[in-house]
Structure 1
Amino acid sequence: MAGPVKRSVSIAGHSTSITLEPVFWDALVRAAEEEGLPLNALVARIDVERIEQDDLPNLASAIRVWLFRRVSARI
């Protein structure tokens, strides 16, 4: 399995770096395509949900959890 990959995304007009394993990047790109959103827009949406939580996880963790819940909801 390949190690984590750092990519820059734009959220609310500012760039931020996110480090995820390739399998999560692939799943995130697929989810954005399926939802008809640009990748940055999906990440921004996940970020808004993350900020609303009492226990604020980091963005990479929030993305992993969001992807896991999305897959779990389909099973």
Structure 2
Amino acid sequence: MTDISSIYHPPVKRSVEIAGHKTSISLEPLFWDWLRKVAEEEGIPINALVARIDVERIGADNPPGLAGAIRQWLAARALGRHGG
């Protein structure tokens, strides 16, 4: 059985490079793990996946912040509501 307290953790800030510039993103470890898993499944670096999510988010009518966009993208993908 998984220790339920391990999913409740404050955000962790990490640096990623998007379009040639570094930026910091704060996500909970659960989302960092999930993002890493998807990147591995797609055979691309995390930076490339984050850059793709960033392009999609910027094109939205009312774009959220990048960390929120990543969480929403991952959830939409898990729910089958996103083609990516």
Question: What TM-score do you get using the length of structure 2 for normalisation?
Answer: 0.85
Which one of the candidate residues 56, 59, 77 is aligned to 1:52?
A: 59
Please tell me whether Structure 1 or Structure 2 has the larger radius of gyration of its CA atoms: 2
TM superposition shift of 1:17: 0.3
| Distance across 2 between alignment mates of 1:73 and 1:56 | 20
| Distance across 1 between alignment mates of 2:69 and 2:42 | 18
Larger relative helix fraction: 1
TM superposition shift of 1:30: 0.2
Structure 1: gaps (5+ residues): none
The number of residue pairs the alignment matches comes to 74
| Distance across 1 between alignment mates of 2:9 and 2:69 | 21
Question: What TM-score do you get using the length of structure 1 for normalisation?
Answer: 0.95
Residue 47 of structure 1 aligns with an amino acid whose one-letter code is D
1:16-60: CA deviation from partner (whole Å, max 9, x where unpaired):
000000000000000000111100000000000000001011000
Greater relative contact order, per chain length (Cα 8 Å cut-off, separation 6+): 1
Structure 2: gaps (5+ residues): 1-7
| Distance across 2 between alignment mates of 1:49 and 1:17 | 18
| Distance across 1 between alignment mates of 2:70 and 2:77 | 10
Q: Moved runs in structure 1, 4+ residues, more than 3 A? A: none
